[in-house]
Amino acid sequence: MASKNRSFLKNGNRDFNNVLDSMLNLADSSAQTVTSDLKLAANLQSGTNGTDTVLNQFDGTEVARIHDGAVVPAATGTSTSLAAGTGMGWRRRVLTLGSGNDNNVLTLTAADSGCVVFVTPTNAVTLVLPLIGTETGFWCTVVLADKINKAFKIQTSGTDNADLFFMYCQTTADDGATADVAGDVITFTNALEGSHIELLNVAGGAAEKWIANVTSLDTVASTNATS
């Protein structure tokens, strides 16, 4: 017995052994659809050597890729050498946030972990981080798209003075490093475009703990205060 295509199983030999051998391994040239959840009790492995394995969303857009060492980008030049290893690659989702009035609030959820928030604070903007329970490790990056003298704030979901940011800010000023570990609202106003904040949650529950590494591309520093 061996893997058979769908037409063979429908119109040819319906021997139960053929059906078992062909489950999720139909030898058709077109892609097959599994309509139920797929749970694996073993490894997920590519069936073709020397090619990348691509994860696509419904419309065919690639969102992640398992790199095979045999697939390398083009390199040109005199005596250029290039070797590639294996690994996992993906694109981070970018949330582009504008602001029409001084009441703009973006509230993230656990599903937004890993995103980049690219924000233009034409007017005041507040970014609210998700409520963290036992599933810690949420992370995201915030990038300022323009230098505008409007309040930009990042706060935890509770704003009850129980959560904390462990904030470190580096500016271009002489001795421009500042640190503050006693607040749950970060304010970063009028920072030069490209200034950014890396956020990482390390503890959840009633007293969340967040790492906030702030890089300011001018002398403007962020502040950390209680709500």
Model confidence pLDDT, tens digit, residues 6-28: 565 566 655 555 544 445 554 45
Q: Is the pTM of this model over 0.95?
A: no
* Adjacent-strand bridge partners of 200: 139, 211
Model confidence pLDDT, tens digit, residues 42-68: 888 888 899 999 999 989 999 999 999
Model confidence pLDDT, tens digit, residues 172-206: 998 889 999 999 999 999 999 999 999 999 999 99
Q: Which two structure tokens, joined as six digits, stand for 5?
A: 């295509």
